[in-house]
Chain A
Amino acid sequence: MNDQQDAGAEPAEADEVSAGGSPAFGDSRGTAETAVRLRNLWVSYGKFDAVKGISLDIPKGEVFGFIGPNGAGKSSTFRVLATLQRKYRGTALVCGLDVLRQPGRVRDVMGFVPDFFGVYEDLTSLEYLHFFAAAYRVPTKQRKAVIDDVLTLTDMAHKAGSPVDSLSRGMKQRLAMARVLLHDPQVLLLDEPSSGLDPRARIEMRELLNALKEMGKTILISSHILSELGQLCTRIGIVELGQLVAEGSLNEIYRRLQVMRLIHIRVDNPCGELEQRVRGIPGVAALETQVDRWAISLHEDQTSLGDLHAGLVEAGARLTMFQPEAMDMETAFMKLTEGRTT
């Protein structure tokens, strides 16, 4: 059941959804600069609609974070883009290629890491990569060099001879990353790549993703670790109940939601009077006294961080620490979603 003809089957809902933040869409074909384009995407399993009219554009070279509660439709969207979902309605393009009509070409330009890492117990890491290099049709003569490169990039060279089954979860995830880099894809679809990893493995994964970002890869990543996405993504999309409820850069989303920035400060001279003066600084919405610091909630659209700093000094605070929280995505997430799951 395709499909393209049915793309406008649910126009009312589609319009409503795309109002979540995507620009107005006219042309359904991808442009040279667009890595991923979704138009009114619907994925249904029987009577249940997992994805309800998601539309978005992801330019090349962007790292797009896909956030949403479990069952929100993230993995279904990923499966469509990874050519693993035969039945859907709407349009899905990867690098201008239609996922349904040109799945072979899409597979050439896309690498997909699913949210689980099934292992071939019987292979070593090297055999595993050779297996997938052959499956990706990497020319035989180039295979060794390509595999050496991806092993180096993912810091897995020392584990080349180890059975896949014996690797730690973090290493398996890095091996999965090595696998999808074998055919040098332009677009990477990473479904929960940091899920279940320990802090060290998570940091290593983040470094690897940063390296790939610097290489100009377009990355579509879903994760539950919001702070991590905040550090990595250029744009994010928040999905709930199969609909895109917000989409844009972090700052755009904060502005739209009027989300407050949290700033931790420590002063040498804490007292009630100073606290009152700080509360009086324009833009300060709240001040919470914690064990060793104050946590200030700031309307950043009214007062910039620099102005706050100046205001604090002017109020007589002798600052020993001024630490704005990098992101407050949890707040944004909680504000945008209502915790409804299917």
Chain B
Amino acid sequence: MKIPRLFPELPLLWRELTELSARRRTYVVRSVGAMIILSLVLLLLEMSVAAELTRASAEQLQLALIGIGGRLFPQIVLLLFIAVDLIMPALTCGAITIEKERNTLGTLFVTRLNPWNIVLEKLGSRLIPMLTLLLLTFPILAFVYSLGGVSTEDLFSAVWLLLWECLLFASIGLLCSAWYSTTVAAFVAAYVLSGFVVFLTLLMGVPLPIPSHQWINRRVAMMPEESGFLQDLLDNLNVGPLATVVLETVPVMLVAAFFLFLTRMLLFRRAFVGHSSLMLRVFRRLDFFFQRLNDRTGGVMIVADRESFPEDDPVAWREREKKSLGRARYLFRVLLLIEFPVMYACVTFMFSGEAQSGIGILWLLYLIWGVTILMVAVKASTLISTERTRETLDALLSTAITNRELLNQKILGMRRLIMVMATPLFSIHLTLVLMYGNFASIISLAGMMEVGLLLLYFSAALFASWNLCHLVAWLCLLLGSRAKSQAKSVLLAVMVVGGWAVLSVTVLNTVDDERQVWRRRDSQNVDYLDVQLERTARRLFRIDGAVDAAQQFLSVASYERYRQFQTGSSYGQGNQLLLEILALALMCGWHWGMSRVARWFTLRRSAHLLDRAESENRSDGALYATRKWAGEAS
């Protein structure tokens, strides 16, 4: 008698999990991830305890920590939501594209697995690692629960909402994986789509309460329940709090199911799409647009591509002349595409006259700065892995070109891209100079001093951006060179640079302190040197340290002008401006030094990165058998 199987056989899930368990990387990533999450939780705990003890009076000290779990728990769960949002798209984006890249998707189709089997088993194979990572934090949640102040409903709703956050972002990643042919494209698209969903719900107020949004509203921000169709319905049903949480996630369930349905639909239709570069398609569209524009303007050619052959720097030549992100014509179009909106925004901010325009332009600065860093990171990290995956690296490495030359030329080939991406930054800094400057009084000594300070800011800001791009480029080249695939190199580089950027933001948790310093600065009770030292020490670890120092310098310079206007005193009074100049110089020097160290270290490790013995030092320089080949051949 045949005994019916209790659970269905899941061969694909089994294979995926077996592969996962066989990789050493799985355990490393899980351990590192758990350590990071636990460190952050401990940091939160320490900060909360310190805050409570500071707030409590001497007689209340023993009671101060009672119920602290209730205040800590929402923050920790929020941290887990952030972890899910950051990790889940990266985990799922390669689920189907890897099969496409290995040409194994077709073999799956000819088995008895139906499309839903494939989609759901792939989903399961990516959900399980994420859930096990979350499971690692449960002892911490239990500890926080034991501190008191956390209800059972909070605990269960946190678990429920985290599960659906995982499912929502996993379905987005799977959808992108089904659509795109490469993991790199799916990776970028998964984050863009995830960001779009978050943007829609958080900023645009679209009635799709994603689980993290619900948690923030109800448990972190303690916002009152918004009225709306869903809320009215829940009020009418008069259900308990747990059931309310479950019912509130129904829209998310529907959206996740819709994304999974789309994935199933696309699984066959997009299974064998040819590999075409996303960048190439964007450029083709741009080409079409600009050619039509050019027809209307009478065929004006501003930048023409030169047909040339390499001289002594073949690798840099190819990166510069033959790559989409190297050719002058394409880069000029990218420049126009980015520069026009930036210029428009800058002019709008400059002439709006509103107090918020300064903050707006700073947001724009950081947005463009982020895009620039991302583009440089992705490009630099794939410089060697692209050669490796396209199997062109061995041919290149068997030539006379040295390892150091190869890496140097790769970065040199990126210089145009960095210049193009630095141009909008140039415009924004120029706008800031024009906004903060008072050029009417330029003929006076004070006016000239002000112009000098603004010029100093402008040069330092551009120098800082240039150095930062080079620092990121060398760092990502170092990180991405050993990777066997582009996807791995991009993932690693984005994780490191993104992680650094996120940590930089978390270092900003002392914003309140800063504000207090600004509030109290007129009281002359603050030792500005101490504040500056503390701030500079923090900036040393920040990816945007030099950029931030430049902005700080500009603020202080404009404040000094305001004070000069108010009190009639001249520049140079006090040492605050001098300290800011010194801090700016230090940060610029620090980032310059870091970029040089990154370059030195990368070149020093070039033999390891390329896995090829470095050429010996030769007094005769690069050799070429100068006898005429043709003569001998004939």
Listed in ascending order, the chain A residues whose CB lies under 8 Å from chain B are 79, 82-84, 86, 99-105, 107-114, 116-120, 122-123, 126-127, 130-132, 134-140, 142-143, 145-146, 149-150, 153, 176, 179-181, 183-184, 215
Residue-wise interface mask of B (146-182) relative to A, using a CB-CB cutoff of 8 A (1 in contact, 0 not): 0000000000000000000000000000000000000
Q: List 23 A-B contacts (CB under 8 A).
A: A84-B397, A104-B615, A104-B616, A104-B618, A105-B623, A109-B625, A113-B395, A114-B395, A118-B393, A119-B392, A120-B392, A132-B399, A134-B309, A135-B396, A135-B401, A136-B400, A139-B626, A140-B311, A140-B312, A142-B626, A142-B628, A145-B628, A181-B629
Shortest Cβ gap from A210 to chain B (Å): 14
Within 8 A of A (CB), among B289-318: 309-315, 317-318
CB of B629 within 8 A of CB of A149, answer: yes
Q: A123-B322, A132-B314 are in contact. Are A145 and B630 (CB under 8 A)?
A: yes
**Does B394 reach chain A (CB closer than 8 Å)?**
yes
Question: Among the listed B310, B317, B399, B630, which residue makes an inter-chain contact with A149, where contact means beta carbons less than 8 Å apart?
Answer: B630
Q: A86-B607, A117-B391, A118-B395 are in contact. Are A135 and B314 (CB under 8 A)?
A: yes
A113 and B398 CA atoms in complex are apart in Å by 9
A120 contacts across to B, CB distance below 8 A: 318, 322, 390, 392
Q: A131-B310, A134-B312 are in contact. Are A118 and B623 (CB under 8 A)?
A: no
Instruction: Find the B residue at minimum CB distance from A112.
Output: B398
Residue-wise interface mask of B (559-603) relative to A, using a CB-CB cutoff of 8 A (1 in contact, 0 not): 000000000000000000000000000000000000000000000
A16 and B592 CA atoms in complex are apart in Å by 58
Question: Among the listed A83, A111, A123, which residue makes an inter-chain contact with B613, where contact means beta carbons less than 8 Å apart?
Answer: A83
Q: A83-B398, A83-B612 are in contact. Are A108 and B625 (CB under 8 A)?
A: yes
Q: Which of B614, B616, B628 has the most CB of A within 10 A?
A: B616
A146 contacts across to B, CB distance below 8 A: 629-630
A99 and B317 CA atoms in complex are apart in Å by 29
CB of A104 within 8 A of CB of B398, answer: no
Instruction: Find the A residue at minimum CB distance from B397.
Output: A84
Question: Among the listed B309, B613, B615, which residue makes an inter-chain contact with A86, where contact means beta carbons less than 8 Å apart?
Answer: B613
CB of B625 within 8 A of CB of A110, answer: no
A130 contacts across to B, CB distance below 8 A: 309-310, 314
CB of A107 within 8 A of CB of B626, answer: no
Shortest Cβ gap from A157 to chain B (Å): 14
**Does B110 reach chain A (CB closer than 8 Å)?**
no
A279 and B616 CA atoms in complex are apart in Å by 64
**Does B522 reach chain A (CB closer than 8 Å)?**
no
CB of A86 within 8 A of CB of B611, answer: yes
Question: Among the listed B309, B315, B400, B607, which residue makes an inter-chain contact with A107, where contact means beta carbons less than 8 Å apart?
Answer: B400
CB of B309 within 8 A of CB of A118, answer: no
Shortest Cβ gap from A171 to chain B (Å): 16
CB of A184 within 8 A of CB of B395, answer: no
A84 contacts across to B, CB distance below 8 A: 394, 397-398, 611-612
Instruction: Find the A residue at minimum CB distance from B634.
Output: A149
Listed in ascending order, the chain B residues whose CB lies under 8 Å from chain A are 309-315, 317-318, 322-323, 387, 390-402, 607, 611-616, 618, 622-630, 632-633
CB of B390 within 8 A of CB of A104, answer: no
CB of B623 within 8 A of CB of A131, answer: no
CB of A134 within 8 A of CB of B314, answer: yes
B390 contacts across to A, CB distance below 8 A: 118-120
Shortest Cβ gap from A59 to chain B (Å): 20
Shortest Cβ gap from B423 to chain A (Å): 25
Instruction: Find the A residue at minimum CB distance from B315.
Output: A135
A100 contacts across to B, CB distance below 8 A: 613
Instruction: Find the A residue at minimum CB distance from B326.
Output: A122
A131 contacts across to B, CB distance below 8 A: 310, 314, 317-318
A119 and B625 CA atoms in complex are apart in Å by 26
B398 contacts across to A, CB distance below 8 A: 82-84, 107, 110-112, 180
Known contacts A120-B392, A140-B312, then 11 further A-B pairs from the complex at CB < 8 Å, ordered by chain A residue: A84-B612, A104-B616, A105-B618, A108-B624, A118-B393, A118-B395, A119-B390, A120-B318, A127-B322, A135-B315, A137-B400
Instruction: Find the A residue at minimum CB distance from B617.
Output: A104
CB of B633 within 8 A of CB of A215, answer: yes
A195 and B300 CA atoms in complex are apart in Å by 50
CB of A118 within 8 A of CB of B392, answer: yes
CB of A136 within 8 A of CB of B394, answer: no
Shortest Cβ gap from B193 to chain A (Å): 28
Q: Which of B318, B394, B623, B627 has the most CB of A within 10 A?
A: B394
Shortest Cβ gap from A222 to chain B (Å): 15
Instruction: Find the B residue at minimum CB distance from A81.
Output: B398
Shortest Cβ gap from A136 to chain B (Å): 5
B323 contacts across to A, CB distance below 8 A: 122
Shortest Cβ gap from B302 to chain A (Å): 23
A139 and B623 CA atoms in complex are apart in Å by 10
B616 contacts across to A, CB distance below 8 A: 101-105
Shortest Cβ gap from B273 to chain A (Å): 17
A2 and B323 CA atoms in complex are apart in Å by 38
Q: Which of B611, B630, B632 has the most CB of A within 10 A?
A: B630
Instruction: Find the B residue at minimum CB distance from A116.
Output: B391
CB of A134 within 8 A of CB of B615, answer: no
A137 and B310 CA atoms in complex are apart in Å by 11
Shortest Cβ gap from A66 to chain B (Å): 17
Shortest Cβ gap from A224 to chain B (Å): 19
Shortest Cβ gap from A161 to chain B (Å): 11
Instruction: Find the A residue at minimum CB distance from B626.
Output: A139
Shortest Cβ gap from A24 to chain B (Å): 29
A179 contacts across to B, CB distance below 8 A: 395
